[in-house]
A = this chain, B = another copy of it.
Amino acid sequence: MAMTPQSPSRAEGGFRTATAVERSDPDSVAKHPVGDTSQWMAAIAEGWDIAGNANGGYLLALTARAMSAAIGRPDPITVTAHYLAPGKPGPVSIAVEITKQGRTFGTATATLVGEDRPLLRVLGTFGELAENVGPQLVDLVPPPMPSPDQCIPVDATDTFPPPFMGKVELRLHPDDANFLRGNPSGHARMRGWFRLRNGEPTDTVALLCASDAFPPTVFNANLPVAWTPTIELTTHVRYRPEPGWLRCRFATHFVSGGFLEEDGEIWDDSGRLVAQSRQLALVPRN
């Protein structure tokens, strides 16, 4: 869909602009058969960083845009990224190789390359999500939370928020927000609301960004852990989200062996689980 220059998300450098990709090799139209590799140009946009390094969910979303276009299917069904090096703002290239094109899904690998080194290696299956198909069983509820205006905007604090928080809007559950003031809750958990800024809708690729947008759960544990570089992030997408805030819960149960996992659930405004995520992060040895 063409966006006018007046579009807020474009004028403000919204998510869609920040994840735009363009085919850079000659065969720019055809959908790609199995085994073919396509090349894409993109840029890591300014302002999507945390202490200078682009947010991992944003990098995954950027790569997923190229994969989706190469495969010719709109929705990430399950996407796994292994993080190899930090990404800095500037031009990047994405190579996508298609492994399978089936009746309902297409599977590809991709490499995001910046400054001549691989930043992300990604394996993903894409398709077209449908509504209410098959049997249903949901035995968890969305996390109970005060409304967004009763939650704590991360950008309201004066020390923590990285530039990335100017690009997405996070409102933390009050019980999980005191780590911002040096008082972690004692539970390795982070609950809150997420949306893109300026009313830009969250599509299924933006859910990949949401799945890595919150401060690390371990910031709420009483552990000497100041940063947790992501080794791998996997996100499953179940539904296209309804417009509005997304209700998110991230939790860690195991910090051990030098690693931790962080499990995420993302629910939309209609009360449906739209995505699940799990990442493995390194716990730097003291």
Q: Which residues of B contact A133 (CB under 8 A)?
A: 257-258, 285
Question: Judging by beta carbons under 8 Å apart, are A280 and B118 in contact?
Answer: no
Question: Judging by beta carbons under 8 Å apart, are B134 and A284 in contact?
Answer: yes
Q: Closest 7 interchain pairs by CB?
A: A137-B255, A238-B257, A123-B123, A133-B258, A80-B80, A78-B232, A135-B223
30 pairs from A and B in contact (CB 8 Å cutoff): A78-B82, A78-B231, A78-B280, A80-B232, A82-B99, A84-B100, A100-B118, A100-B121, A109-B123, A123-B123, A129-B257, A132-B257, A133-B257, A133-B258, A135-B224, A135-B255, A137-B218, A137-B221, A137-B255, A137-B256, A139-B253, A139-B254, A140-B254, A232-B236, A234-B278, A236-B259, A238-B257, A238-B259, A239-B257, A256-B272
User: CB of A138 within 8 A of chain B?
Assistant: yes
User: Which residue of chain B has the shortest Cβ distance to A140 in the bound complex?
Assistant: B253
Q: Which residues of B contact A54 (CB under 8 A)?
A: none
User: CB of A283 within 8 A of chain B?
Assistant: yes
**Chain A interface extent, by class:** 35 or more
User: CB of A125 within 8 A of chain B?
Assistant: yes
Query: Given A129-B257, A140-B253, A77–B231 Cβ distance below 8 Å?
Result: yes
Between A133, A134, A273, A286, the greatest number of chain B beta carbons within 10 A of the residue's beta carbon is seen for: A134
Given A84-B107, A100-B121, 17 additional A-B pairs, CB 8 A: A77-B231, A78-B231, A78-B232, A84-B99, A99-B111, A123-B123, A125-B231, A135-B225, A137-B218, A137-B260, A138-B254, A140-B253, A232-B236, A234-B234, A236-B261, A238-B257, A239-B256
The answer for the CA separation of A138 and B255 in the assembled complex, in Å, is: 6
User: Chain copies in the assembly?
Assistant: 2
Query: Given A109-B121, A286-B135, A77–B280 Cβ distance below 8 Å?
Result: yes
